[in-house]
Amino acid sequence: GESVGLHLPTLSVQEGDNSIINCAYSNSASDYFIWYKQESGKGPQFIIDIRSNMDKRQGQRVTVLLNKTVKHLSLQIAATQPGDSAVYFCAEIYTGGFKTIFGAGTRLFVKA
Amino acid sequence: GAGVSQSPSNKVTEKGKDVELRCDPISGHTALYWYRQSLGQGLEFLIYFQGNSAPDKSGLPSDRFSAERTGGSVSTLTIQRTQQEDSAVYLCASSFTGVSEQYFGPGTRLTVT
């Protein structure tokens, strides 16, 4: 089934440390993955994406890793800042079906 | 350019009343999604529109929920005979295609008293 309505796991990190947020996706046919960031009172915002023909993609301070063997996705944030405090969602898409499935989300707290 | 807009931003209604929530997607985006988000929880998929195709309604929780998208642009989510468990933030998103990143609106916070 789809990952919905679960209480959010929480990750607390010290400012300046690296953060790793993990996600297990559900559909082995999914071939496109996106990480979103949601700040309080706002809608989710795109951070970075990766297609299934890749296992790593880097952006500015963020890296996404994809392990299709175990259906696992991770988001690494380098030198975490207070502004990174938010809820992070992974999303999986099967491009043959167009439906997006969101993970349950992880709340990141950054301690100054 | 303008992002996804939603109205109203907040809606308080009495149990049993009907409500309509509006979404204006980004111009040119063919795909439009509605999600529901309860306090502190994840996104629950409700419905998906793609171009002129029949919408994917598989996420609608009951027949009290319906949505339409007129002219391939503006969408309205209607909840009939609202219940207290309908209280949540309703998020709309659009994307250029069905397989690209989604741009979210700020949401409508619905409170059913």
Note whether A8 contacts B38, CB cutoff 8 Å. no
Complete DSSP assignment for B37-92:
E-TT--EEEEEEEETTSPPB-TT--STTEEEEEGGGS-EEEEE-S--GGG-EEEEE
Indicate the SS3 state at residue A82.
helix
Q: How many CB atoms lie within 10 A of CB B29?
A: 18
Q: What is the pLDDT of residue B39?
A: 81
Mean pLDDT across the stretch B75-80? 98
Q: What is the pLDDT of residue B1?
A: 55
pLDDT digits (tens, 9 = 90+) for A3-46: 333 467 899 999 999 999 999 998 888 999 999 999 988 999 99
Sole residue written with tokens 């309505």? A5
pLDDT digits (tens, 9 = 90+) for A38-96: 998 899 999 999 999 999 999 999 999 999 999 999 999 999 999 999 999 999 988 77
* Chain B residues with beta carbon closer than 8 angstroms to that of A49: 101
Note whether A89 contacts B42, CB cutoff 8 Å. yes
Please check whether residue A26 touches B, CB under 8 A: no
Q: What is the pLDDT of residue A7?
A: 60
The conformation of residue A106, written as its DSSP 8-state character, comes to E
Q: What residues of chain B, 84 to 103, have a C-beta less than 8 Å from chain A?
A: 91, 93, 98-99, 101-103
Query: Which residue in B59, B70, B8, B65 sits closest to B33, CA to CA?
Result: B59
The conformation of residue B97, written as its DSSP 8-state character, comes to S
Give exposure, A57-67, as e/b (b: 16+ Cβ within 10 Å): eeeeebbbbbe
CA-nearest residue of chain A to B53? A98
Sole residue written with tokens 């809608």? A43
Please check whether residue B105 touches A, CB under 8 A: yes
Note whether B45 contacts A2, CB cutoff 8 Å. yes
Determine which of B60, B94, B102, B109 to mutate to test the interface with A (most A C-beta atoms within 10 Å): B102
Q: What is the pLDDT of residue A1?
A: 33
Note whether A3 contacts B42, CB cutoff 8 Å. yes
